[in-house]
Amino acid sequence: MNDHKQAAMLLRMANKDLAALQGMNDSEVFAEEIFGFHAQQAAEKAIKAWLALLGIEYAKTHDISFLLAELKQSGVDVDTFMELIEYNVFAVQFRYEAYDDGMDTLDRVSRLILHVQGVAESLT
């Protein structure tokens, strides 16, 4: 699969996680760690799509900070998205622990996905 097809697939998957987040926005129904898990997954997939669009091979990791560092090493300005590192606590290995800090998760993840979609459009 070429890099652009891989990126498109990852963005589709990230958007599905984002849609799940939008449906889970009622904290009385969905626990924060369930919501956070999907936020982490959406961010991880969007960042991997961004890397794929740039032709950068990415590690099989759930670590958002590592993935953002890969972009930064390639000269990409990722400062706007550094706050997403806070969602690493929701990665697969930690998703069973409760976490609550009142962040606007939907906005953060949405901004990342929209940015990567813009990168994809500019390359076509």
The pLDDT assigned to 42 comes to: 92
Q: What is the pTM of this model?
A: 0.75
CB 88 within 8 A of CB 65: yes
SS3 content of the chain, % helix, strand, coil (to 5): 70, 0, 30
CA–CA distance, 83 with 96 (Å, rounded to integer):
21
Task: Kindly state which CATH superfamily the domain 3-122 is placed in.
Answer: Nucleotidyltransferases  domain 2 (1.20.120.330)
The pLDDT assigned to 28 comes to: 79
Q: How far is CA 118 from the centre of its chain?
A: 15
Domain extents in the chain = 3-122
Write the pLDDT tens digit of every residue in 81-113.
999 999 898 886 544 444 444 447 778 888 888
Write the pLDDT tens digit of every residue in 41-84.
999 999 999 999 999 998 889 999 999 999 999 999 999 999 99
